[in-house]
Amino acid sequence: MINTKQFAYVDTYGCQLNESDSEKLRGMLIEMGYEITYDEFEADVAIVNTCAIRQNAENRVLGNVGELVHIKTPRKKKIIVFCGCLAGIPETVEKIRESYEHVNLVFPPNEIHRFPELLERAKTERKRVFIEDSKEYKIVEDIPKHRDSTIKAWLPIMYGCDNFCSYCIVPYVRGRERSRDKEAILAEAKSLVEAGYKDITLLGQNVNSWGGGFPNLLKDINAIPGEFLIRFMTSHPKDASKKLFQAMAESEKVARHIHLPFQSGSDRILKLMNRGYTRAEYLDKIAYARELMPELVITSDVIIGYPGETEEDYNDTLKLVEAAQFEAMFTFIYSKRPMTPAAKLNDTVSAEEKQKRFENLVTIQNEISEKKHEAYIGKTIRVLVDGEAKGELYPLKARTNGGRLVHVVGDLSIYGSFVDAKITHSNNWALFGEA
Ligand code: 5AD
Ligand code: SF4
C-alpha cells in the first residue's frame, strides 16, 4: 500500500502570540488533512513562524531557515514556509527572495487566515509565493486551533499594537491594534474551562488596553464556574490603572502575577522611548498593587544601551531595579530594528559598555531573585502541575499561582492537577519541592 499521509512541521520563535498563531497553523493543517510531525525531515510542509524583536532573534531564525534546505529531496516536492513577524520586514523578505531559494511561501502575521489558500498555491504554482501585508487588520474568528497542551491555553484577546515605543518593531509587523469581541472571548474561555483547561492566559501586545475595558473582562472571566487560573500578558504600565489592580484583587481566579515591563529607570530615556510614564509613576503603581495584593509577583523587562543612554541614565535603571524588587526580570541589550524611529539615532554606547551594563544588571537582579525565592523555602504552596521534566530527580514541573517555576518530586499521576507542594530549596530562577 502506498503511504499517502502528509506531514507538517511547525517551528515557532518568539512570544506567546506566536505560539498561539502556531496553534492556528497546526489547526488549519490538520483540517487540510496533514499530520503534525516534530521531525523536520519527515515533513512535506515545514513552517518557520518567526520573531523579529531583536537582531539576534532574526539571525538565529535565518540560520535555521538556511538549514532547512537539507530536508528537500529530488523525489518529492516539499514546501518550506516563512511566516510570522520577520515576514513583515521588507528587507528580510528581500533576503529570503534572493538568498533562500528553497523557501516556497512567505506571508506576514496579519495574513495568517489565508494560510490554506496560500499553501495550496505554493503547492500547485511553479513560482514561489510572496504575500505582502494587506493592511486590512481584520480579526478572523473561527480559525481552527490545535493546542499543544491540555492544561494550559493561550487566549488572544487583541492583536497589533498602537503604542509605537521608539525601539519596537511590533507595530510595524503586527499592524494596528484591534480587540476581539467580548462575546467571542467569553465563549472561548468557557469552552476551555469545560474542556478541562486549568490555566488560561489572555494574550495581547498590550492586554490591559483591550477595547472593551480590561478590568471588567477579568471579572467576567472570573465569573465562569470551575477551578482554573486566569493569567494575562503583556501589560503596559501606562494602562495599569488602579481599576485593573482592584479587579485583580477582587477576582480569586486571577493569578497573583503581573508582567509589567518598565524598560528604563531614567525619565529622560523613558520619554525618548515614548513610553508615556515616569519612573515615579511606575513605582507608585507597583506599590499600590502590592498594597492591595501583598502576595503579588511582579516581573519585568528592561532594555539597556538605548541610543544616548548615559552612565547616569543607567544608574537610574539600577536604582529602579533595587527599589522595585522584581521576582524576575528579563534584561535585553538594545537592538536596532528596521522601520523604528530609534533606528535613526546614533548608537552612542559601545558594545563593551553595553555588555558591562548588561552583566552588572543581571548580577544585581539574580541576587534579588535568589532572595525572593529563598523566602518560599519551608512553605507549602498550591501549584498547578503543568509539565513533565527530563530529569529523574524532579520528574514534574509546576507553576505557583504567581507564575514561578517549581521542580517537583511526585507521582506522574498528579500531572494536570492543583496540588500542595512543600518548597525545599531554590535558586535564582526556580523553586524545588515535594508534592
Ligand atoms: N531591542 C532590545 N529589546 C527590545 N525589546 C523590544 N524591542 C527591543 C529592541 N529593539 C524588549 C522589550 C520588550 C521585550 C519583549 O523585548 O523589553 O518588553
Ligand atoms: Fe517576536 Fe514581537 Fe512578533 Fe512576538 S510580536 S513574535 S515578540 S516580534
- pLDDT at position 2 over 60: no
Q: Cα separation of 294 and 292, whole Å?
A: 6
How far is 58 from 62, CA to CA, in rounded Å?
Answer: 6
CATH 3.40.50.12160 domain position(s) in the chain: 6-130
Tens-digit pLDDT profile for residues 39-82:
999 999 999 999 999 999 999 999 999 999 999 998 889 999 99
Q: Is the peptide bond before 234 cis (omega within 30 degrees of 0)?
A: yes
Q: Which three cell numbers stand for residue 342?
A: 530609534
Indicate the pLDDT class of residue 83, thresholds 50, 70 and 90: very high
What's the gap in Å between 76 CA and the centre of ligand 2?
33
Centre of ligand 2 to C-alpha 116, Å, is 22
Ligand 2 atom closest to the Cα of residue 169 is: 8
Tell me, what's the pLDDT at 1? 44
Residues making up the chain, counted from first to last: 435
Q: What is the pLDDT of residue 390?
A: 82
The one-letter amino acid at 270: L
Helix (H) or strand (E) holding 397: strand 396-400
Query: Under a CB-based contact definition with an 8 Å cutoff, are residues 282 and 269 in contact?
Result: no
Q: Work out the pLDDT band at 3, boundaries 50, 70, 90.
A: low
CB 383 within 8 A of CB 419: yes
β-partners of residue 423 are 433
Fold adopted by 380-434: OB fold (Dihydrolipoamide Acetyltransferase, E2P) (2.40.50)
- The answer to whether the Cα torsion of 37, 98, 110, 336 is positive or negative is positive
Ligand 1 geometric centre to CA of 263 (Å): 8
Is the beta carbon of 173 within 6 A of some atom in ligand 1? Answer: no
Distance 4 CA to ligand 2 centre (A): 36
User: In the 8-state DSSP scheme, what is residue 254?
Assistant: B
Taking the C-alpha atoms of residue 61 and residue 11, their distance in angstroms, rounded to an integer, is 10
Can you say how many angstroms the Cα of residue 429 is from the centroid of all Cα atoms in its chain?
Answer: 18
Please tell me the CATH superfamily of domain 152-371, with its number.
tm_1862 like domain (3.80.30.20)
Ligand 2 binding pocket, CB closer than 6 Å: 14-15, 17-18, 51-53, 84-85, 170, 174
| Ligand 1 pocket, residue 221 CB under 6 Å | no
Compute the average pLDDT of residues 108-132: 97
* Ligand 2 atom with the shortest distance to the CA of 13: 6
Query: Bridge-partner residues for 248, per DSSP?
Result: none
The preferred substitution site among 168, 277, 300 for testing ligand 1, maximizing ligand atoms within 8 Å of CB, is 168
The model's pLDDT over 302-355, given as tens digits with 9 standing for 90+, comes to 999 999 999 999 999 999 999 999 999 999 999 999 999 999 999 888 999 999
Q: Which CATH number fits domain 6-130: 3.40.50.1980, 3.65.10.10, 2.40.50.100, 3.40.50.12160?
A: 3.40.50.12160
Interval between CA 212 and ligand 2 midpoint (Å): 24
pTM of the model: 0.96
Question: What string of H, E and C letters represents the secondary structure of 270-326?
Answer: HHHCCCCCCHHHHHHHHHHHHHHCCCCEEEEEEEECCCCCCHHHHHHHHHHHHHHCC
- Residue 123 CA to residue 63 CA, distance in Å, equals 24
Closest ligand 1 atom to Cα of 302: 17
Find cell 503511504 and name the residue.
Answer: 3
Question: Which residue spans of the chain are classified as CATH 3.80.30.20?
Answer: 152-371
Q: Is the CB of 263 under 6 A from ligand 1?
A: yes
Choice from 19, 260, 332 to test ligand 1 binding pocket (greatest atom count within 8 A of CB): 332
Neighbours of 13 (CB within 10 A): 21
Task: Compute the distance between CA of residue 97 and CA of residue 95 in angstroms, rounded to an integer.
Answer: 5
Q: Whose Cα sits closest to atom 9 in ligand 1?
A: 335
pLDDT tens-digit profile of 258-287?
999 999 999 999 999 999 999 999 999 999
Please state the atom number of ligand 1 nearest to the C-alpha of residue 261: 18
For residue 34, what is the DSSP state? P
Q: Which residue has the cell 535585553?
A: 332
